[in-house]
Structure 1
Amino acid sequence: MTAPKTPSGPPHAPPGASPDRAAAAGDHPADRAGADRPVPGADLHLELPAGGARRTALARALRDAVRSGRLAGGTLLPPYRALAADLGLARNAVADAYAELVAEGWFTARQGSGTRVAEGAAAAAAPAGPDGPAPEPPLHDLLQGKPDPASFPRGPWAASARRALAGAPTEAFGPGDPRGRPELRRALAAYLSRARGVRAGPENVVVCSGFANGLRLLAAVRPREWAVEAYGLPFHHGILDAAGVRPYPVPVDDDGVRTGELPGRARTALLTPAHQFPTGGRLLPARRAAAVEWARSTGGVIVEDDYDGEFRYDRKPVGAVQGLAPGHVVYAGSLSKSLSPALRLGWLVLPDHLVERVLAAKGLRESWASALDQLALADFIECGAYDRHVRRMRGRYRDRRDQLVSVLAERVPQARVTGISAGLHAVVELPPGGESPALAAARAAGLALDGLSSYRHPADPAPAREGLVVGYAAAPDAAFARALTALADTLADVRAGTRGGPH
């Protein structure tokens, strides 16, 4: 489309525009490009009502776009000639609307650099909520499940990504294989066999975008009766509920789930054997054997969520249950704890009879896990960088765990801290009635953490256990000591004001 020629005069001023208005609208480089050329500029979606004053409607639409956050502070607006052409308006109308919003402080304009949304305009325009200002963010992040984001191995990962990109076969840039890249499946099969005792070949590995994605796939192909641990991640409970799964909660204690109580009517059992989530118990050998016997006798399948199996501190890592019965166990893992949840990569190691069913549920096109990230991870594992990173983080998290235990032992010796032999979190147990005041005091002190009772399955008939689930991996080094002091002060204050206190 070619805009009509403008009369002589300043190249950025529309016909009849005053110098003040032209300056307010900004001297956009695109407006100096020449009137006979196609009008360049960024697209901007605006809906204007039919009829009425077009300039007024445009100004209102622009204000609304800033208020809603669609136009963030600093955003460069299209040149008024381009916007006028896109909206079918006279250039004078757009220039006048820009000038009006500049005068009101919504936009800023500098000669030669165009018109931009003023910094802070959206915040200044936002009305106060019905409950007043937004609450202050927590000072200290002690939420479970988060690895240390500052420790992500940027250099080694970048080197693996470069090598993977340079060596990627041409077909890697086409439609993906629902199984995942063969390079990654080979690397995972070798690593899991060596490090976790998993018995499977690449043909049993299916790459997914994390454990949640894998759980959805399994829920789609398994019978609707599932045994679940009485304490687990509510998000996982929600996935199974959305899939129509009927849950049978199984009690847990200090030694993990009581596998002798797995119900015969269930055909799938979702377990966390290496480190029960969130209570922290390690499944004893006798209970592992009982779980395998349950699966064999019922024709059932165990879904083994090995969410933090690499991070054991006080004894050698416990091998995967899958190694005891590969035909009855789905081994599931991801990078969310060991590297970063931002990578969105996970895997299922499936018994032979489930591979094709899971692939059918997944579909013919891999729409989740990036092929380039898969290739980078394959290189990262094969060059040894993954092992080095895990060993480094194991030492770092052990030190964090030791700090937590030491501070609480000194400041609140009555507190019982459990689940500390592995993982990225611990549980501070509390007596009945102690969790609610402890959480309230912790949040008042700027601590972000969860209560143990919030992880109890809603179908579990037993009374809820109470405590604080304390993540010790994500807080920055400079703030971790202060966070532990605030936690200890909170527990001490709650104990002083609550009969019984932490035990």
Structure 2
Amino acid sequence: MDSANQQPLARSKAQPGAGSDFLALWLGDVPPGGRTTWLTTRIREAIVSGTLGVGDHLPPTRTLAAEVGVSRGVVTEAYQRLADEGHVVGQGRGGTIVVSRPVQPPGAAPSYRPPSSLPTTVAPGIFDDLSADDVVDRLRAAPARIDLSPGVPDLTAFPRAAWLRAEREVIGARAAAELGYGDPRGAPAFRAAVSRWVARSRGIRVDPDDVLVVAGAAQAFFLLAHVLRDAGTTRVGMEDPGSFGARQQLRRVGLDPVPVAVDDDGLRVDALRSSGTRVVMTTPAHQFPTGVVLSGARRRELGSWVEGGGLVLEDDYDAEHRYDRAPVPALRATLGDAVAYVGSVSKLLAPALRTGWLIAPPRLRAPVLRLKRDVDLGNPALPQLVLAHLMDSGAMERHLRALRGRHRARRDAMVSALASRLPAATVRGAAAGLHLVVTLPPGTDDTAVARHALERGVKVHPLSLHRQVPGEPGLVLGYAAHTPGVVAEGIGLIADVIPGALDKT
């Protein structure tokens, strides 16, 4: 089993050395005497290879030291060595920026080795048929005082002040001609910012021209599904358990979602081979809903699978939210054009922005772009320019660091409440993401538990909703949207209804 899936369930505060999203830095087995050289080498390689470009900011020394788990002096010395070599320059309060150009094309493949209001009744029928096409929409619309649905970030933390400042700067700097119809691929400034963002945080090196801006991950998979269907694909492998919404979306397009088993190491590649499918949709950084990380061994197996012509649809939906485990790169970073990569700001800022990005393999780019142009002529440009400003100014990283602290506290509150109120339950997926999975005793009707919880004013997803093949019962519990006290109250109300639900099974 991969070590990333064996982390402690919870810690009371941020742990030094949890790793940094910047260049996926992870201290691992680096000896104390070699840390400065190691850090200098990693950053130098990123500059020389083009992962970091001219004008990119290095993280503040104090921040990077805390995230990686080294002394600030190590980072300061590494930056000084890079400055002496002419790669970076310090600008005082302006930070440390890259001034050296790469010595190989930015498109060259990087090398990477994976690290070892309270309702009294529930609208009738919501849980009667979990295969119904609109079950998630109806569940989302159902009123609840405490919504523990998965996938919702802390919307109260949206950086309103930073957004408004960036918006004023963007509007003030736009010429009238820039307010017309733009490139259907997306605003050039935002595509460039995304290419730098995914290079720094997900290990992906891509040309901005190959980034397609989309209206969230849902539109990305809509476009991919239509293009693949028109090219003759009829079946797509789906992690099981896996996202109900993604499964239904494939069915609406006319594709058959084929269940592929998931275990503690992530997607089972042997089951994928047995399925006979040539396309698979996966969530490798934090599998939905189990929360496991695709292990290094499984990544290598998947690499062998794509060599035979397979295509991976990578949903990187909440990879930024990481608390107690090492950073892992996107599959796109290691498998290259065998992967169609999808990311968005929905879990980082707010779903209401409806902004994401798709990096498709070359053979799919032209038909995907044609369909995108026909659908909407491209996303609104002004929000893209604001997002580009936030990404390039460092405001997005600062927001993410603050958000991690809030989410960690809420995660800890949920884990503690579960240990107190449901001690027999097994908790999974606590090291990252925005939700936990709680497995219940065999024979429990998790749909009945969810129904009774909603009657008490707490909204959750039964694990059965996200299964195609019957398996152990459980609940999928989101913790990010409420304060620790409300999260604990919600778990208490769920615990109160479980005995009654069991009596009805």
The alignment's TM-score, normalised by the length of structure 1, stands at 0.68
Match of 2:414 in 1: 404
Letter of the 2:462 counterpart: G
How far 1:452 moved relative to its partner? 0.2
Mapped to 2, the partners of 1:246 and 1:136 lie a distance apart of 29
Q: Contact 1:210–1:344 (CA<8 Å) still a contact in 2?
A: yes
Q: Is the 8 A contact 2:284 2:314 kept in 1?
A: yes
Question: Is 1:369 aligned to 2:376, yes or no?
Answer: no
User: What are the residue-to-residue correspondences of 1:454-465 with 2, within 5 Å?
Assistant: 454-457=465-468, 462-465=469-472
CA distance in 1, matches of 2:234, 2:263: 26
* Residue in structure 2 matched with residue 302 of structure 1 by the alignment: 312
Given that 2:213 and 2:378 are in contact with CA atoms closer than 8 Å, whether structure 1 keeps it comes out as: no
Q: CA deviation at 1:455?
A: 0.8
Partner of 1:165: 171
**Aligned counterpart for 2:428 among listed residues 418, 429, 443:** 418
Residue in 2 aligned with 1:120? Answer: none
Aligned-pair CA distance for 1:301: 1.4
CA contact (8 A) 1:175 1:365 kept: no
2:482 equivalent in structure 1: 475
What pairs up with 1:37-76 in 2 under 5 angstroms?
none
Q: Distance in 2 between matches of 1:198 and 1:354?
A: 18
Q: In structure 2, what is the equivalent of residue 262 of structure 1? A: 272
- Residues 35-93 of structure 1: per-residue CA shift (max 9 Å, x gap): xxxxxxxxxxxxxxxxxxxxxxxxxxxxxxxxxxxxxxxxxxxxxxxxxxxxxxxxxxx
Q: Please identify, of 350-359 and 373-382, the stretch whose mean Cα deviation from structure 2 is larger.
A: 350-359
Selected match of 1:349 from 339, 359, 369:
359
> Which SS does the other structure have where 2:206 is aligned?
coil
Counterpart contact for 1:178–1:364, Cα < 8 Å: no
Q: How many angstroms apart in 1 are the aligned matches of 2:213 and 2:284? A: 22
Question: Superposition pairs for residues 26-425 of structure 1, below 5 Å?
Answer: 137-222=143-228, 223-263=233-273, 265-297=276-308, 299-363=309-373, 366-367=376-377, 369-425=379-435
Alignment partners' CA distance in 1, 2:297 and 2:313: 18
Task: Quickly say closer, same or farther: Cα 1:162–1:365, change in 2 above 3 A.
Answer: farther
Contact 1:328/1:351 (<8 A) preserved: yes
Which piece of structure 1 moves more, 423-432 or 474-483? 474-483
How big is each residue's C-alpha offset from its partner over 1:291-327, in whole Å with a ceiling of 9 and x where there is no partner?
A: 1211121x22111100000011111221101111211
Q: In structure 2, which of residues 430, 434, 437 is the aligned counterpart of residue 427 of structure 1?
A: 437
Per-residue Cα deviation, 1:212-262 (whole angstroms, up to 9, x for no partner):
100011012222331111222222112211222122210112222112221
SS at match of 1:138: coil
Cα distance between partner residues in 1 of 2:425 and 2:148 = 17
Query: Hey, what's the Cα distance between the residues in 2 that align with 1:365 and 1:438?
Result: 40
**Cα separation, 2, equivalents of 1:391 and 1:492:** 39
- CA separation of 1:172 and 1:259: change in aligned 2, threshold 3 A: farther
Q: Could you say if the C-alpha distance between residues 158 and 480 of structure 1 is closer, same or farther in structure 2, counting changes exceeding 3 Å?
A: same
State the secondary structure of the residue aligned to 1:269. Answer: strand
Q: Secondary structure at the match of 2:384?
A: helix
- Distance in structure 1 (CA, Å) of the matches to 2:213 and 2:484: 34
The letter of the residue matching 2:346 is: S
| Alpha-carbon separation, structure 1, partners of 2:313 and 2:172 | 37
Offset from partner CA, 1:399-454 (integer Å, 9 cap, x none): 11111111111232211111111111101101333113422332232111110001
Determine which structure has greater relative contact order: mean sequence separation of CA pairs < 8 Å that are 6+ residues apart, divided by chain length.
2
> Structure 1 residue 498: deviation in Å?
8.2
Distance 2:332 2:224 in 1: 16
Cα contact 2:184–2:379 (8 A) shared by 1: no
Instruction: Say whether the 8 Å CA contact 1:177–1:365 is kept in structure 2.
Output: no
SS in 1 for 2:336: coil
CA distance in 1, matches of 2:422, 2:238: 34
Q: Shift in Å at residue 478 of structure 1?
A: 5.9
Q: What is the aligned partner in structure 2 of residue 72 from structure 1?
A: none
In structure 1, how many angstroms separate the alpha carbons of the residues matched to 2:433 and 2:399?
Answer: 15
- In 1, the alpha carbon distance for the partners of 2:375 and 2:381 equals 12
Contact 1:177 1:364 in 2 (8 A): no
Secondary structure of the structure 2 residue equivalent to 1:325: helix
- Quick one: which amino acid aligns to residue 285 of structure 1? G
Q: Which residue of 2 aligns with 1:443?
A: 454
User: How far off is 1:349 after superposition?
Assistant: 1.3
One-letter code of the match for 1:195? S
Structure 1's unaligned 5+ residue stretches are 1-129
Contact 1:401 1:472 in 2 (8 A): yes
Q: Quick one: which amino acid aligns to residue 482 of structure 2?
A: A
Report if the CA contact (8 A) 1:176-1:365 is conserved. no
Cα deviation, 1:326-378, whole Å, max 9, x if unaligned, reads 11111101111111000010100122232222112212684452110011100
Q: Distance in 1 between matches of 2:379 and 2:472?
A: 37
> How many residues get paired?
361
Letter in 2 for 1:416: T
SS in 2 for 1:439: helix
- Contact 1:273 1:282 (8 Å CA) reproduced: yes
Larger Rg: 1
Cα distance in 1 for partners of 2:438, 2:314 equals 26
Distance of aligned partners of 1:138 and 1:366 in 2 relative to their CA distance in 1, 3 Å threshold: closer
| Partners of 2:191 and 2:212 within 8 A in 1 | yes
For 1:141 and 1:233, the matched residues in 2 are separated by 18
CA contact under 8 A between 2:437 and 2:475: conserved in structure 1? yes
Q: CA RMSD in A?
A: 2.3
Residue identity opposite 2:303 in structure 1: V
Task: Measure the CA separation in 2 of the matches of 1:440 and 1:356.
Answer: 45
Aligned mates of 1:412, 1:277 — CA distance in 2: 22
- Cα distance in 1, alignment partners of residues 419 and 504 from structure 2: 19
TM-score by length of 2: 0.68
Matches within 5 A, 1:483-498: 483-491=490-498
Distance 1:417 1:493, change over 3 A: farther
